[in-house]
Structure 1
Amino acid sequence: MKKLSFFNKIIFVVNSLAAFLLLISYLLPYVPPKSFATLSVLSLGVPLLISLNIIFFIYWLLQVKKQMLLSLVVLLLGWSYLGALYKFSSSKKIEEPGNLSVMSFNVRLFNKYNWKPNKTTREDIVDLFIKESPDIICIQEYTRGTPITLEGYASYNGRYTKDVKGGHTIFTKLPIINSGSLEFEDTDNNAVFVDVVKGKDTIRVYNVHLQSAKINADMTNYINSQYSRDVFIKRVKMAFQKQQSQVEKFLKHKSKNPYKTIVAGDFNNTAYSYSYKKILGDDLVDTFEEAGNGFGKSFDIKFFPLRIDFILADERFKVNGFKTYSDVNLSDHYPIKATLNLNK
């Protein structure tokens, strides 16, 4: 530090703080939000912390300063985190017999309250589904008040289903032999599932929508005032604690499932969170990490490459493709699609 200029000393102090927070964040997947809610909020900022440490490393490297080792060591310790943030390889796209395509999309009630100026959002989303023609479509924030019809698809909860909350539905071209819902307490959120048959295999598909922290796409709302930041943190803490209870209920249900499993949906949390880590478990893989590319940003928020929508697949599937539809501006989320195959 003695040989550093005053400016560089300030830079190194900020660098040290960013490195420390990133190091602490490596513990987040193992810390239940109910035990340490404040720390769990940090999971939303991990993409920023990774980016800052990369910038600091490059800054010191260009000056040939040993301070570059701080961020370098911390980044290397969390090497797997980099894969969850950004995939340097190009998207995998393998066409072969037996492929199964799964799309997930939070449609935000088909723009029911005119958040976007587009007056044909509902029709445009239907056109997207028809054009892409995935075998399975998991929709979050679906309104049964204005249901959609997709020719060639069966659905569960696409229209009124007794004792099941609206908001989430599954459309599929495959025969449905069983279906149901996991009703989460004290919330509008839930999870629905179907058992479908493909060839000789039965596959369980979950469509999960975890508790929302109601994050505004314009992050400046939380930066401009202390009050907004305090409200934001309190809201996120409460949401993540609820998510823990929802995940526990989901895992209890999933543990009794005898079939190969696909879990899709809006987790309202990142790949660095306790909720994600628990759902992923030891038997599922993140299809983005297997076959995606770039940041995989799935939520339209300023300044942040936030990936909170996932398609997780049983490790017995081969992941033949993954796509984020970042050019589809029909919701505050972007659609995602994975291509799977059981012929490993």
Structure 2
Amino acid sequence: MKKLSIFDKFIFILNSLAATALLFSYLLPHIPPKSFPLLSVLSLGVPVLIILNTFFLLYWVLRLKRQLLLSLIVLLLGYNYITSFVKFSEGETDEKKNADLSIMSYNVRMFNAYEWSDRKDIPEKITEFIKEKNPDILCVQEHYVGAAALAEIYPYEYIKLKGKNSEFGSAIFSKFPIIKKHSVDFPHDGNNNAIYADVLINKKDTLRVFNVHFQSLNIKPGIDDLQKEDSKKLLGRIGYGFSLQQEQAEMMMDEVKRSPYQTIIAGDFNNTSFSYIYDLVKQEGRFKDAFLEAGSGFGKSFKLNYFPLRIDFLLIENDMKIAEFQKFEIDYSDHYPILTRIGL
């Protein structure tokens, strides 16, 4: 530190704080939110910590200072952890030719039923997009039955509404017959649940498809909205939401463990790949993340301005091949749709 200017010393203090926070975040997948709800909030900030430490590393490299070792070591220690944030393209593979099935997950924000956007054509645009991409199975979160055009595309469906008189809920649409349907109803909140459908593929293979929407955190897309909210209340609300997510994930995974078929989990987790919830659902390697296997670039799936959040996932059982993953940055919801093609 003797050879550093006052400014560089200040930068290194900031660097040390960011490196310590990132190092500590590596423990988050192993810490239940019910035990430390406020601590789990840090999982949302991990992408920023990664970017900050990368910035500090480059800063010290350009200045040829040994302080570069701090962020370098911390980033290297979490290499596998960090690569769930950004993925470099592995190029074209022959597996794309052998894909048997395409699956899309999309939180459609109720097809703009509450007019969060001034655009009146959103229901039609979403339907046109789905027709164009033509997934074999479509998992929809925040579905609105008033937008009925999807029923014209898919002969089979399972729609679970949040109440008897409600028009909103979760849905699974399929080109293949659905031979069983079930809902895992979460306590405390009727807006979130997990549903599954047993889909008979080509009259021979049965696939159990889960569509989950974990506890919402009610984060609005604009950073300005976050800044206006009292920070203590915001952290408390998010921490409590993560605690509920743990309970919901445990309930769903009890059902997943009983599945007699190959299983796929799709949906809006309202949490990141750095969290305890994500690790719990992946079941210590039983499932693989389609983005990590076949995606590229940043996996951002939620449109929080200037903040890269990947909270929508397609998890595939290990014995199935993932041929392709795509994310579509279209402006019809606060989430981006994601799609994978798999070989059974």
TM-score range, shorter chain: over 0.9
* CA–CA distance in structure 2, aligned partners of residues 45 and 159 of structure 1: 33
Change in 2 beyond 3 A, CA 1:190/1:338: same
Paired residues for 1:219-238 under 5 Å:
219-223=223-227, 228-238=230-240
Structure 2 letter corresponding to 1:249: M
Report what 1:303 is aligned to: 306
**Shift of residue 138, structure 1, vs aligned partner:** 0.2
SS in 2 for 1:138: strand
Verify: 1:214 aligned to 2:218, yes or no. yes
Structure 1 letter corresponding to 2:121: T
Change in 2 beyond 3 A, CA 1:77/1:84: same
Structure 2 letter corresponding to 1:203: L
Contact 1:28 1:274 in 2 (8 A): yes
Report what 1:124 is aligned to: 125
**Shift of residue 207, structure 1, vs aligned partner:** 0.2
* CA–CA distance in structure 2, aligned partners of residues 158 and 247 of structure 1: 18
Verify: 1:102 aligned to 2:103, yes or no. yes
Report what 1:316 is aligned to: 319
Contact 1:157 1:166 in 2 (8 A): no
**Shift of residue 161, structure 1, vs aligned partner:** 9.1
Report what 2:136 is aligned to: 135
Q: TM-score, normalised by structure 2?
A: 0.94
SS in 1 for 2:296: coil
* CA–CA distance in structure 2, aligned partners of residues 111 and 233 of structure 1: 28
Report what 1:190 is aligned to: 193
RMSD: 1.9
Name which of 282, 286, 293 aligns with 1:283.
286
* CA–CA distance in structure 2, aligned partners of residues 268 and 19 of structure 1: 25
Report what 1:244 is aligned to: 246
Structure 2 letter corresponding to 1:151: I
**Shift of residue 91, structure 1, vs aligned partner:** 6.1
SS in 2 for 1:330: coil
Structure 2 letter corresponding to 1:205: V
Contact 1:157 1:168 in 2 (8 A): yes
Q: TM-score, normalised by structure 1?
A: 0.94
Paired residues for 1:1-344 under 5 Å:
1-89=1-89, 92=92, 94-148=95-149, 149-157=151-159, 166-187=168-189, 188-199=191-202, 200-223=204-227, 228-281=230-283, 282-326=285-329, 328-342=330-344
* CA–CA distance in structure 1, aligned partners of residues 271 and 296 of structure 2: 20
Give unpaired runs (5+ residues) of structure 1: none
* CA–CA distance in structure 1, aligned partners of residues 251 and 166 of structure 2: 16
* CA–CA distance in structure 2, aligned partners of residues 213 and 161 of structure 1: 21
* CA–CA distance in structure 1, aligned partners of residues 70 and 232 of structure 2: 31
* CA–CA distance in structure 2, aligned partners of residues 158 and 236 of structure 1: 26
Change in 2 beyond 3 A, CA 1:215/1:162: closer
Q: Deviations over 1:174-195 (max 9, x none)?
A: 1111111000011121011001
* CA–CA distance in structure 1, aligned partners of residues 75 and 214 of structure 2: 29
Q: Deviations over 1:273-301 (max 9, x none)?
A: 01111001121000000000110110011
Which sits farther off after the overlay, 138-147 or 278-287? 138-147
Change in 2 beyond 3 A, CA 1:176/1:57: same
Contact 1:147 1:158 in 2 (8 A): no
**Shift of residue 92, structure 1, vs aligned partner:** 5.0
**Shift of residue 212, structure 1, vs aligned partner:** 0.7
Change in 2 beyond 3 A, CA 1:162/1:283: farther
Change in 2 beyond 3 A, CA 1:212/1:58: same
Structure 2 letter corresponding to 1:255: K
Q: Which has the larger share of strand? A: 2
Change in 2 beyond 3 A, CA 1:165/1:256: farther
Number of residue pairs the alignment of both structures matches: 339
* CA–CA distance in structure 2, aligned partners of residues 323 and 177 of structure 1: 28
Contact 1:144 1:166 in 2 (8 A): yes
Change in 2 beyond 3 A, CA 1:27/1:163: farther
